[in-house]
Amino acid sequence: MNAYAAFFILFIPVLLIYGTIQYFSFKNWTSVYIALNDDSYFQAISKLKQAGVRYKIKSSFDQTSTPMFGGNRQRHYEIYVKEKDAHYASQQLYS
């Protein structure tokens, strides 16, 4: 068995398991806010905490720009709430 076949035999099940977990962990949740920097992220979650709304976060990191070469690394946050709480959470975030 060559290295490529072994890689795919191990990689495909891991990818399927990861995708299944992601699907079911965010199944009844909806995105209510996208923060493009840390300050807006912390402001948004503090409003949700004060309102007593449960939330989940998905974050991604832009690795294409580095501070060493004059870039500004940015983290992107997606804030999710339960579908039944989406309207109330939006009111709290945008008030």
CATH topology of domain 23-93: Alpha-Beta Plaits (3.30.70)
Give pLDDT tens digits for 20-72.
877 777 788 999 999 988 899 999 999 999 999 999 998 887 666 555 655 55
- Residues 75-89 have a mean pLDDT of 92
Cα–Cα distance, 43 to 84 (Å, whole number) = 22
Reported as type and span, the H/E element at residue 22 is helix 3-25
Model confidence pLDDT, tens digit, residues 22-34? 777 778 899 999 9
Alpha carbon 55 to its chain centroid, in Å, reads 11
Residue type at position 46: S
Q: Where do the domains of the chain lie? A: 23-93
What global pTM score does this model have?
0.69
Q: CA 28 to CA 83: how far, in whole Å?
A: 6
3-state secondary structure of 51: helix
